[in-house]
A = this chain, B = another copy of it.
Amino acid sequence: MGIYAIIMAGGVGKRFWPLSRKRKPKQFLPIVSEKTMLEETIERILPLIPYERIYTVANAEFSNEIYKLVPNLPEKNLIVEPSAKNTAPSLLLATARISSEDSDATIVALPSDHYIRDKNRFNKVLNACLKMAQTGEYIITIGIEPSYPATGYGYIHYSPKQTFEAEGMKFYWVEEFKEKPNLEEAIKYLAEREYFWNSGIFIWNVKSFSEKLKKYTPELHADYIALYEALEKNEKEKAIEIFQKFPSTSIDYALMEKAKGILVIKGDFGWSDVGSWSSLAEILPRDKEGNVIKGDVILMDSKNCIVYNPNIFTSLIGVKDIIVIYANNALLICNKKYDQKIKELVEKLEKENRKEYL
Protein backbone atom coordinates (compact mmCIF):
# COMPACT_ATOMS: atom_id res chain seq x y z
CA MET A 1 0.00 0.00 0.00
CA GLY A 2 3.05 2.27 0.13
CA ILE A 3 3.69 5.21 -2.16
CA TYR A 4 6.96 5.25 -4.08
CA ALA A 5 8.77 7.44 -6.56
CA ILE A 6 10.99 6.44 -9.44
CA ILE A 7 13.17 9.29 -10.54
CA MET A 8 14.59 8.80 -14.00
CA ALA A 9 18.09 10.26 -13.87
CA GLY A 10 19.76 8.60 -16.84
CA GLY A 11 19.45 11.47 -19.31
CA VAL A 12 22.55 12.67 -21.12
CA GLY A 13 21.43 16.21 -22.00
CA LYS A 14 23.61 17.77 -24.66
CA ARG A 15 21.63 20.92 -25.02
CA PHE A 16 23.24 22.69 -22.08
CA TRP A 17 26.72 22.32 -23.45
CA PRO A 18 29.26 23.66 -22.61
CA LEU A 19 27.89 23.73 -19.06
CA SER A 20 26.50 20.20 -19.25
CA ARG A 21 29.03 17.50 -19.96
CA LYS A 22 28.89 13.75 -20.42
CA ARG A 23 29.60 13.22 -16.73
CA LYS A 24 27.47 16.15 -15.63
CA PRO A 25 24.20 16.31 -17.53
CA LYS A 26 21.39 18.70 -16.73
CA GLN A 27 19.97 16.82 -13.70
CA PHE A 28 23.29 17.32 -11.90
CA LEU A 29 23.51 21.05 -12.61
CA PRO A 30 22.17 23.91 -10.51
CA ILE A 31 20.81 25.81 -13.48
CA VAL A 32 17.45 27.03 -12.22
CA SER A 33 18.30 27.50 -8.55
CA GLU A 34 21.36 27.01 -6.38
CA LYS A 35 20.45 23.33 -6.08
CA THR A 36 20.80 20.74 -8.80
CA MET A 37 17.65 19.84 -10.70
CA LEU A 38 17.79 16.33 -9.23
CA GLU A 39 17.87 17.70 -5.68
CA GLU A 40 14.97 20.00 -6.51
CA THR A 41 13.03 17.05 -7.91
CA ILE A 42 13.60 14.93 -4.82
CA GLU A 43 12.93 17.70 -2.31
CA ARG A 44 9.75 18.63 -4.13
CA ILE A 45 8.12 15.24 -3.48
CA LEU A 46 9.34 14.80 0.10
CA PRO A 47 6.05 16.09 1.57
CA LEU A 48 4.38 13.05 -0.02
CA ILE A 49 7.12 10.42 -0.21
CA PRO A 50 9.96 9.88 2.28
CA TYR A 51 13.56 9.24 1.17
CA GLU A 52 13.16 5.55 2.01
CA ARG A 53 10.65 5.14 -0.77
CA ILE A 54 12.31 7.31 -3.40
CA TYR A 55 14.19 5.29 -6.02
CA THR A 56 16.38 6.53 -8.80
CA VAL A 57 17.27 4.75 -11.99
CA ALA A 58 20.46 5.64 -13.84
CA ASN A 59 23.75 4.11 -14.93
CA ALA A 60 26.43 3.21 -12.38
CA GLU A 61 28.38 6.46 -12.76
CA PHE A 62 25.33 8.66 -12.37
CA SER A 63 24.14 6.53 -9.45
CA ASN A 64 27.42 7.34 -7.73
CA GLU A 65 26.84 11.00 -8.44
CA ILE A 66 23.33 10.74 -6.96
CA TYR A 67 24.73 9.03 -3.90
CA LYS A 68 27.13 11.89 -3.32
CA LEU A 69 24.52 14.53 -4.00
CA VAL A 70 21.64 13.09 -1.93
CA PRO A 71 23.16 11.01 0.87
CA ASN A 72 19.74 10.71 2.49
CA LEU A 73 18.66 8.26 -0.20
CA PRO A 74 19.19 4.63 0.87
CA GLU A 75 21.95 3.18 -1.29
CA LYS A 76 19.75 0.22 -2.23
CA ASN A 77 17.25 2.64 -3.79
CA LEU A 78 19.74 3.74 -6.44
CA ILE A 79 18.80 1.29 -9.17
CA VAL A 80 21.64 0.82 -11.61
CA GLU A 81 20.73 0.31 -15.26
CA PRO A 82 23.01 -2.23 -16.91
CA SER A 83 22.92 0.00 -19.99
CA ALA A 84 21.19 3.13 -21.20
CA LYS A 85 18.00 2.05 -22.95
CA ASN A 86 15.37 4.82 -22.82
CA THR A 87 12.49 5.07 -20.34
CA ALA A 88 10.56 1.81 -20.94
CA PRO A 89 13.35 -0.55 -19.78
CA SER A 90 14.23 1.80 -16.88
CA LEU A 91 10.64 1.89 -15.65
CA LEU A 92 10.05 -1.84 -16.14
CA LEU A 93 13.17 -2.52 -14.11
CA ALA A 94 12.38 -0.05 -11.35
CA THR A 95 8.71 -1.06 -11.13
CA ALA A 96 9.68 -4.74 -10.95
CA ARG A 97 12.16 -3.91 -8.17
CA ILE A 98 9.63 -1.97 -6.12
CA SER A 99 6.99 -4.59 -6.81
CA SER A 100 9.31 -7.27 -5.43
CA GLU A 101 9.46 -5.28 -2.19
CA ASP A 102 5.82 -4.17 -1.99
CA SER A 103 3.27 -6.06 -4.01
CA ASP A 104 0.74 -3.26 -3.68
CA ALA A 105 3.07 -0.31 -4.29
CA THR A 106 1.77 2.83 -5.94
CA ILE A 107 4.41 4.63 -7.93
CA VAL A 108 5.00 8.02 -9.48
CA ALA A 109 7.60 7.89 -12.22
CA LEU A 110 9.07 11.24 -13.04
CA PRO A 111 11.98 12.92 -14.82
CA SER A 112 14.83 14.23 -12.70
CA ASP A 113 15.43 17.44 -14.62
CA HIS A 114 12.18 19.31 -15.05
CA TYR A 115 11.20 22.61 -13.55
CA ILE A 116 8.01 23.11 -11.53
CA ARG A 117 7.10 26.57 -10.36
CA ASP A 118 4.41 25.89 -7.74
CA LYS A 119 5.53 23.01 -5.56
CA ASN A 120 2.40 23.02 -3.38
CA ARG A 121 0.10 22.82 -6.32
CA PHE A 122 2.27 20.09 -7.84
CA ASN A 123 1.97 17.99 -4.71
CA LYS A 124 -1.78 18.56 -4.54
CA VAL A 125 -2.17 17.31 -8.12
CA LEU A 126 0.26 14.46 -7.55
CA ASN A 127 -1.51 13.46 -4.34
CA ALA A 128 -4.84 13.21 -6.14
CA CYS A 129 -3.20 11.06 -8.83
CA LEU A 130 -1.63 8.78 -6.23
CA LYS A 131 -4.97 8.35 -4.47
CA MET A 132 -6.64 7.45 -7.74
CA ALA A 133 -3.83 5.07 -8.67
CA GLN A 134 -4.04 3.36 -5.30
CA THR A 135 -7.41 1.97 -6.38
CA GLY A 136 -5.36 -0.24 -8.69
CA GLU A 137 -7.58 0.57 -11.64
CA TYR A 138 -5.83 3.29 -13.59
CA ILE A 139 -2.62 4.49 -15.03
CA ILE A 140 -2.59 8.25 -14.67
CA THR A 141 -0.48 10.81 -16.42
CA ILE A 142 -0.06 14.53 -15.90
CA GLY A 143 -0.65 16.76 -18.92
CA ILE A 144 0.42 20.35 -19.42
CA GLU A 145 -1.83 22.86 -21.14
CA PRO A 146 0.06 23.94 -24.27
CA SER A 147 0.95 27.62 -24.45
CA TYR A 148 2.32 27.52 -27.99
CA PRO A 149 2.51 24.98 -30.83
CA ALA A 150 5.58 23.18 -29.54
CA THR A 151 7.09 20.53 -31.80
CA GLY A 152 9.48 19.28 -29.16
CA TYR A 153 6.93 17.55 -26.94
CA GLY A 154 4.64 14.57 -27.23
CA TYR A 155 0.94 15.41 -26.92
CA ILE A 156 -1.96 13.71 -25.15
CA HIS A 157 -5.32 13.87 -26.86
CA TYR A 158 -7.97 13.84 -24.15
CA SER A 159 -11.69 13.73 -24.13
CA PRO A 160 -12.94 17.03 -22.68
CA LYS A 161 -16.45 15.69 -22.19
CA GLN A 162 -15.59 12.38 -20.60
CA THR A 163 -14.33 13.66 -17.30
CA PHE A 164 -14.90 12.81 -13.73
CA GLU A 165 -14.11 14.51 -10.48
CA ALA A 166 -12.20 12.72 -7.78
CA GLU A 167 -10.01 13.86 -4.90
CA GLY A 168 -11.18 17.37 -5.67
CA MET A 169 -9.62 17.24 -9.15
CA LYS A 170 -10.89 16.72 -12.66
CA PHE A 171 -9.60 13.66 -14.53
CA TYR A 172 -9.94 13.15 -18.27
CA TRP A 173 -9.82 9.92 -20.24
CA VAL A 174 -6.92 9.78 -22.63
CA GLU A 175 -7.99 9.33 -26.25
CA GLU A 176 -4.53 8.94 -27.66
CA PHE A 177 -0.86 9.61 -27.03
CA LYS A 178 0.67 11.53 -29.94
CA GLU A 179 4.35 11.62 -30.74
CA LYS A 180 6.11 14.94 -31.36
CA PRO A 181 4.09 16.64 -34.12
CA ASN A 182 5.26 18.82 -36.96
CA LEU A 183 4.41 22.51 -36.73
CA GLU A 184 1.21 22.22 -38.75
CA GLU A 185 -0.09 19.46 -36.52
CA ALA A 186 1.00 21.31 -33.40
CA ILE A 187 -0.95 24.38 -34.50
CA LYS A 188 -4.00 22.18 -35.08
CA TYR A 189 -3.65 20.58 -31.63
CA LEU A 190 -3.42 23.97 -30.00
CA ALA A 191 -6.52 25.23 -31.81
CA GLU A 192 -8.58 22.14 -30.94
CA ARG A 193 -8.08 22.60 -27.19
CA GLU A 194 -8.24 18.85 -26.55
CA TYR A 195 -4.53 18.30 -26.19
CA PHE A 196 -2.05 18.45 -23.38
CA TRP A 197 1.70 18.28 -23.58
CA ASN A 198 3.01 15.00 -22.24
CA SER A 199 4.97 15.88 -19.09
CA GLY A 200 6.52 12.42 -18.79
CA ILE A 201 5.09 12.00 -15.31
CA PHE A 202 3.14 8.75 -14.80
CA ILE A 203 1.40 7.31 -11.78
CA TRP A 204 0.49 3.63 -11.42
CA ASN A 205 -0.09 0.90 -8.96
CA VAL A 206 2.13 -2.12 -9.62
CA LYS A 207 -1.02 -4.19 -10.19
CA SER A 208 -2.56 -1.85 -12.75
CA PHE A 209 0.85 -1.52 -14.42
CA SER A 210 1.19 -5.27 -14.76
CA GLU A 211 -2.40 -5.66 -15.96
CA LYS A 212 -2.03 -3.01 -18.65
CA LEU A 213 1.21 -4.58 -19.82
CA LYS A 214 -0.45 -7.99 -19.95
CA LYS A 215 -3.45 -6.73 -21.88
CA TYR A 216 -1.80 -4.36 -24.35
CA THR A 217 1.74 -5.64 -24.76
CA PRO A 218 1.77 -9.29 -23.62
CA GLU A 219 5.27 -10.02 -24.88
CA LEU A 220 6.75 -7.23 -22.79
CA HIS A 221 4.63 -8.41 -19.89
CA ALA A 222 6.18 -11.88 -20.05
CA ASP A 223 9.66 -10.35 -19.86
CA TYR A 224 8.54 -8.03 -17.09
CA ILE A 225 7.29 -11.00 -15.04
CA ALA A 226 10.52 -12.88 -15.73
CA LEU A 227 12.48 -9.83 -14.59
CA TYR A 228 10.33 -9.57 -11.48
CA GLU A 229 10.96 -13.22 -10.66
CA ALA A 230 14.71 -12.90 -11.24
CA LEU A 231 14.77 -9.94 -8.84
CA GLU A 232 12.65 -11.86 -6.30
CA LYS A 233 15.14 -14.73 -6.39
CA ASN A 234 18.06 -12.30 -6.42
CA GLU A 235 19.29 -13.76 -9.74
CA LYS A 236 21.27 -10.71 -10.77
CA GLU A 237 22.76 -12.00 -14.00
CA LYS A 238 19.44 -13.28 -15.22
CA ALA A 239 17.86 -9.91 -14.46
CA ILE A 240 20.56 -8.16 -16.47
CA GLU A 241 20.06 -10.57 -19.34
CA ILE A 242 16.32 -9.86 -19.43
CA PHE A 243 16.92 -6.11 -19.18
CA GLN A 244 19.28 -6.25 -22.15
CA LYS A 245 16.52 -7.89 -24.21
CA PHE A 246 14.11 -4.98 -23.67
CA PRO A 247 13.72 -2.74 -26.71
CA SER A 248 15.23 0.73 -26.32
CA THR A 249 11.95 2.58 -26.43
CA SER A 250 10.09 5.09 -24.34
CA ILE A 251 7.34 4.06 -21.93
CA ASP A 252 5.04 6.21 -24.07
CA TYR A 253 5.71 4.10 -27.11
CA ALA A 254 6.01 0.74 -25.35
CA LEU A 255 2.83 1.02 -23.29
CA MET A 256 0.93 4.30 -23.17
CA GLU A 257 0.22 4.60 -26.89
CA LYS A 258 -1.20 1.07 -26.92
CA ALA A 259 -3.13 0.98 -23.66
CA LYS A 260 -6.73 2.00 -23.04
CA GLY A 261 -8.19 3.34 -19.82
CA ILE A 262 -5.50 5.87 -19.03
CA LEU A 263 -6.41 9.02 -17.18
CA VAL A 264 -4.86 12.43 -17.56
CA ILE A 265 -5.00 15.36 -15.17
CA LYS A 266 -4.05 18.95 -15.91
CA GLY A 267 -0.74 19.89 -14.33
CA ASP A 268 -1.51 23.55 -13.66
CA PHE A 269 1.55 24.17 -11.49
CA GLY A 270 3.87 25.91 -13.94
CA TRP A 271 6.04 23.44 -15.78
CA SER A 272 9.04 23.39 -18.09
CA ASP A 273 11.17 20.52 -19.26
CA VAL A 274 14.02 23.08 -19.50
CA GLY A 275 15.06 21.52 -22.77
CA SER A 276 17.41 24.23 -23.97
CA TRP A 277 19.15 27.43 -22.99
CA SER A 278 16.26 29.38 -24.52
CA SER A 279 13.66 27.53 -22.47
CA LEU A 280 15.77 28.02 -19.35
CA ALA A 281 15.76 31.75 -20.09
CA GLU A 282 11.97 31.70 -20.07
CA ILE A 283 11.79 30.64 -16.45
CA LEU A 284 14.65 32.75 -15.07
CA PRO A 285 14.34 36.42 -14.09
CA ARG A 286 15.03 38.84 -16.93
CA ASP A 287 16.14 42.47 -16.98
CA LYS A 288 14.10 45.21 -18.67
CA GLU A 289 15.57 44.36 -22.06
CA GLY A 290 14.75 40.67 -21.67
CA ASN A 291 18.31 39.58 -20.88
CA VAL A 292 19.04 36.71 -18.52
CA ILE A 293 22.41 37.16 -16.87
CA LYS A 294 24.66 35.10 -14.67
CA GLY A 295 28.03 36.66 -13.96
CA ASP A 296 29.69 40.06 -14.09
CA VAL A 297 28.18 41.42 -17.29
CA ILE A 298 27.80 44.85 -18.88
CA LEU A 299 25.22 45.14 -21.64
CA MET A 300 24.99 48.01 -24.12
CA ASP A 301 22.18 48.12 -26.70
CA SER A 302 21.59 44.40 -26.22
CA LYS A 303 18.28 42.58 -25.97
CA ASN A 304 16.91 39.15 -25.15
CA CYS A 305 20.32 37.63 -24.60
CA ILE A 306 21.37 34.85 -22.27
CA VAL A 307 24.77 35.17 -20.65
CA TYR A 308 26.14 32.50 -18.36
CA ASN A 309 29.68 33.31 -17.39
CA PRO A 310 30.29 33.29 -13.67
CA ASN A 311 34.05 33.44 -14.11
CA ILE A 312 34.99 36.08 -16.66
CA PHE A 313 33.87 39.68 -16.97
CA THR A 314 31.70 39.87 -20.08
CA SER A 315 30.35 42.72 -22.13
CA LEU A 316 27.80 42.65 -24.91
CA ILE A 317 27.36 45.52 -27.36
CA GLY A 318 24.58 45.79 -29.92
CA VAL A 319 23.54 42.15 -30.02
CA LYS A 320 20.18 40.48 -29.57
CA ASP A 321 18.85 36.96 -29.17
CA ILE A 322 22.34 35.64 -28.51
CA ILE A 323 23.34 32.94 -26.05
CA VAL A 324 26.80 33.37 -24.52
CA ILE A 325 27.99 30.54 -22.31
CA TYR A 326 31.45 30.11 -20.90
CA ALA A 327 31.60 27.04 -18.74
CA ASN A 328 34.26 24.51 -17.96
CA ASN A 329 36.81 24.96 -20.72
CA ALA A 330 34.68 26.11 -23.64
CA LEU A 331 32.94 29.23 -24.88
CA LEU A 332 29.70 29.08 -26.88
CA ILE A 333 28.11 31.94 -28.80
CA CYS A 334 24.80 30.81 -30.25
CA ASN A 335 21.84 32.44 -31.91
CA LYS A 336 18.77 31.62 -29.78
CA LYS A 337 16.95 30.37 -32.84
CA TYR A 338 19.76 27.86 -33.45
CA ASP A 339 19.96 26.43 -29.95
CA GLN A 340 18.74 23.03 -31.11
CA LYS A 341 22.01 22.83 -33.04
CA ILE A 342 24.08 22.75 -29.86
CA LYS A 343 23.38 19.01 -29.81
CA GLU A 344 24.87 18.73 -33.30
CA LEU A 345 27.93 20.59 -32.18
CA VAL A 346 28.42 18.18 -29.28
CA GLU A 347 28.01 15.26 -31.68
CA LYS A 348 30.63 16.82 -33.91
CA LEU A 349 33.00 17.03 -30.94
CA GLU A 350 32.24 13.38 -30.17
CA LYS A 351 33.02 12.41 -33.73
CA GLU A 352 36.29 14.32 -33.57
CA ASN A 353 37.01 12.64 -30.25
CA ARG A 354 37.69 15.96 -28.54
CA LYS A 355 37.13 14.41 -25.14
CA GLU A 356 38.26 17.43 -23.20
CA TYR A 357 35.11 19.23 -24.35
CA LEU A 358 32.63 16.39 -23.79
B300 touches A312 (CB 8 A): no
Contacts of A333 in B (CB 8 A): 314-317, 319, 322, 324, 333
B312 touches A338 (CB 8 A): no
Contact for A330 among B313, B324, B330, B348, CB less than 8 A: B313
Contacts of A301 in B (CB 8 A): 335, 338, 341
Known: A300-B345, A301-B338, A341-B300. A332 touches B315 (CB 8 A): yes
B300 touches A317 (CB 8 A): no
A334 touches B318 (CB 8 A): yes
A344 at the interface (CB under 8 A from B): yes
Q: How close is A174's CB to chain B, nearest CB, in angstroms?
A: 38
**Most central of A18, A329, A331, A332 by chain B CB within 10 Å:** A331
Q: How far is the CA of A250 from the CA of B147 in the complex (A)?
A: 62
A271 at the interface (CB under 8 A from B): no
Q: How far is the CA of A276 from the CA of B356 in the complex (A)?
A: 34
Copies in the complex: 2
Interface bits A307-351 vs B (CB < 8 Å: 1, else 0): 001001111111100101010011111110111011011001100
Q: How far is the CA of A298 from the CA of B315 in the complex (A)?
A: 21
Contact for A314 among B300, B318, B322, B331, CB less than 8 A: B331
A357 at the interface (CB under 8 A from B): yes
Q: How close is A281's CB to chain B, nearest CB, in angstroms?
A: 16
Q: How far is the CA of A93 from the CA of B128 in the complex (A)?
A: 88
Known: A301-B341, A345-B298. A330 touches B312 (CB 8 A): yes
Known: A300-B344, A341-B300. A331 touches B315 (CB 8 A): yes
A318 touches B298 (CB 8 A): no
A335 touches B348 (CB 8 A): no
Q: How far is the CA of A338 from the CA of B303 in the complex (A)?
A: 14
Q: How close is A30's CB to chain B, nearest CB, in angstroms?
A: 22
Interface bits A277-307 vs B (CB < 8 Å: 1, else 0): 0000000000000000000001011000000
Contacts of A342 in B (CB 8 A): 317
Contacts of A314 in B (CB 8 A): 330-333
The 13 listed contacts between A and B (C-beta, < 8 Å) are A298-B348, A298-B349, A300-B338, A300-B341, A312-B329, A312-B331, A313-B356, A314-B332, A315-B332, A317-B335, A318-B337, A319-B333, A322-B322
Query: Which residues of A are at the interface with B, using a C-beta cutoff of 8 A?
Result: 18, 298, 300-301, 309, 312-319, 322, 324, 326, 329-335, 337-339, 341-342, 344-345, 348-349, 356-357
Q: A312-B329, A316-B332, A316-B333 are in contact. List 13 more A-B contacts (CB 8 A).
A: A298-B349, A300-B345, A300-B348, A301-B341, A309-B331, A312-B331, A314-B331, A317-B333, A317-B334, A317-B339, A318-B341, A324-B333, A333-B333
